[in-house]
Structures are given as C-alpha cells and as structure tokens.
Amino acid sequence: MASERRLYALKAFDDTKAGVKGLVDAGVTAVPTIFHHPPESLDDAPTHPHGHQFSIPVIDLAGLVTPSGRASVVGAVKAAAETVGFFQVVNHGVPEAAMSGMLAALRSFNEEPAEAKRPYYSRDPGRRAKYESNFDLFQSRAASWRDTLFMEMAPEPPPPEEIPPACRRVAPEYVGLVQRLGRTLFELLSEGMGLRRGYLEEEQECLDGLSFAGHYYPACPEPHLTLGAARHSDPSFLTVLLQDAVGGLEVLVDDDKNQPAWVDVPTAAGALVVNIGDYLQLMSNDRFKSVEHRVVAKSVGPRVSVACFFRADASTRVLEPIVTDAGGARYRSTTVAELVRHYRAKGLDGVPALQHVRI
C-alpha cells in the first residue's frame, strides 16, 4: 500500500508539469514525503566545517602562455584529477558576461508562469530539449529538490523552437565557449597522462558530444529532510559546472584520517568547476578519479547552476581502459549505451555506476 501511495504521489506531482518551483509557488511550508531522503543517505559521511585544511584546487589557466607555465598547469591538473577529481579554473576564456547571462537566462525561464513552461516539460528520451523535475523521479528512493532544463547540444543542437525563448540565444553561445575550454582541458589531461596533446579529443573523441543541464534549486522550507541532488558521479568524460553564489555543492573525499567526508566546493568569483567523469576514470584505468558529489538543500535560494557534460555517441561508442602499467585492466570494455542504460535504471542511488563494469 505504501508503494502504491508513493507512486500515486509521484504521478500527481509529475502531472502538474510545474516541478518543485510549482510547489514553492503554491506556498508549501513542508517538504512532501516523496522528497524525504532516508536519514542514512543524508548523514552518510561527516561534513567538514568551513575552514578545514582540505580545499578544492583553483588552477589559473593564464599560465598556459609560456612553456614553463604550461608545464606547471599540466602538473596541477594532473594532481587534481588523480586525487580529488575536482578543481576550479580561472582565466579560462569564458567571459564573465557570458556566465552571468547564462545564469540569468536560466533563472528567467524557471521563474516564468507554469503555463509558459509546461509545453517544454517532458520525459520523452527522444526529445533533445526538455524541462523536467528529477530525470529519475520514478526510479530513485527519494526525489531531489530541483528542476532541470536538459538539452543535447552536440554534435547537433536542438531545433531553436524546442529551446525555451529565454535561453534560445544565450545557451548555444555559452556552450560554444565551454566547448573551446573543453578542448584546452582535454589537451591538459592528455599531457597529464603522458600522451600527445590532441589524444583525448582526436583519438578518443571526448569533445564530440555535449549535454547541457541547467539546474534550478528553489529555497527549501525543510532542508534537513531532502537533498538538491543525491550522491552520484557523472556519466561523462568531463563536466564543466557554472554555479551561482548560493552554494551547496559538496564533494566526497578522504580526510586526513582516510575517512570519507563531505567537503564544500566554495563559490569563487569568475571560476568554473571541473570534475572528472566516469568515462574518463574507466579510460584512464583508475588513474583519474570520478568522485561522488551532491548538492545539499538550502533554506535560501534559488541556487542556479549549469552543468555541461562532455559525452559520446551512446549508440556506437566503445569504452576501454588505456593500460599503461603492469597491473592490467581494471574494467571490462563496455559501450556508452550500456553505461547510460545502467545509470538511468538505477538513478541517483549512491552506488558508483562503474562498479557495474569493474573487473
């Protein structure tokens, strides 16, 4: 009976096509039970207090203009990718106006009346642009407190009429700038693996696909009961994240006692957050780390962020580890399609997706 009641509540929520923002607009003062996360998933690791000695590296790409500077940047990117799997970049070539314009456009779309957004709301996997709340709404143990505008932007963007007017001009322009940064990042990561500069882009086609996820996290009346995004790693080669000043992103790292703990990714003026995805961890044979992360719910907001996932063609692409040591492959060869199916079926359940293909 409980499962039937939950399914009914999920369907009722989804049928509104208004998302979490619709609940907030309706004046909810309590978080509906479909958003209640189990206590063990809310408290699955301690959270370091602000000011703990560990911090996410901030890497200045301005050093790339000289050979010695480039070697230093490659070393910093390599170290971050091999340890925490997360870093922030500054002087990255994406203008401040483009970043603030993208966040403003996404906020503007989410704050339109529900009837204006409803035509874009869909769970059709064939749509290249869609607005939805929780891609895994019917698979996850608990819904997350966020709505998303999702678009497949490369190799082919959606037809302009499928993109909400507020984002129609801004999103393709922003994505183009991120793709240019992506080329630089893949060059640095290739060099960090001891490979030629163009390896990941040209031989491995890491730059060919890009998915855009614009997330909107409304202020939450009971943030201690839910999450903005449950613990997960990304099904991508690399993710570039633009976040506003509200904060809430946390990364799971080992502390100085080798115990897992949540560490805040602070908002830094003009910075973009970069993290290694599952595909690159597999391809690097565990040399680079795809680290689990989450977004905590907050009583202030909304939090607005844009994640650009560098992906691959899910229909044909085969992934296999690049073995550079005597230890042998740690993963079996697989297809992107298989990993995507597995990821969608399990949802954000806190279990690393790569366990599915680990030898």
**Interval 50-64 mean pLDDT:** 80
Two tokens at 154? 């490369």
Element (H, E) at 334: strand 334-335
Q: What pLDDT digit, counting tens, does each position of 282-317 carry?
A: 999 999 999 999 999 999 989 999 999 999 876 678
Please tell me the predicted confidence (pLDDT) of residue 348: 67
pTM of structure: 0.94
Contact 50, 264 (CB under 8 A): yes
Q: What's the pLDDT band for 51 if we cut at 50, 70, 90?
A: very low
CA distances from 354 to 149, 186, 208, 290 (A): 26, 21, 22, 9
pLDDT confidence of 350, banded at 50, 70, 90?
low
Taking the C-alpha atoms of residue 321 and residue 334, their distance in angstroms, rounded to an integer, is 10
Arithmetic mean of pLDDT, 197-208 = 93
State pLDDT tens for residues 265-284.
999 889 999 999 999 999 99
- Is residue 48 predicted with pLDDT exceeding 90? no
Integer distance in angstroms from the first to the last C-alpha of the chain?
40
Average pLDDT of the chain to the nearest whole number: 92
Using an 8 Å Cβ cutoff, are 145 and 220 in contact? Answer: yes
Q: Which of 55-64, 140-149, 225-234, 333-342 has the lowest mean pLDDT?
A: 333-342
Percentage of the chain beyond pLDDT 90 is 77
Whether the predicted pLDDT of 50 surpasses 60: no
Domains of the chain and CATH, by start: 2-49+57-357 (2.60.120.330)
| Three-state SS at 63 | helix
Give alpha helix (H) positions in the chain.
2-15, 19-25, 39-42, 67-82, 96-110, 114-117, 170-192, 199-202, 278-283, 336-346
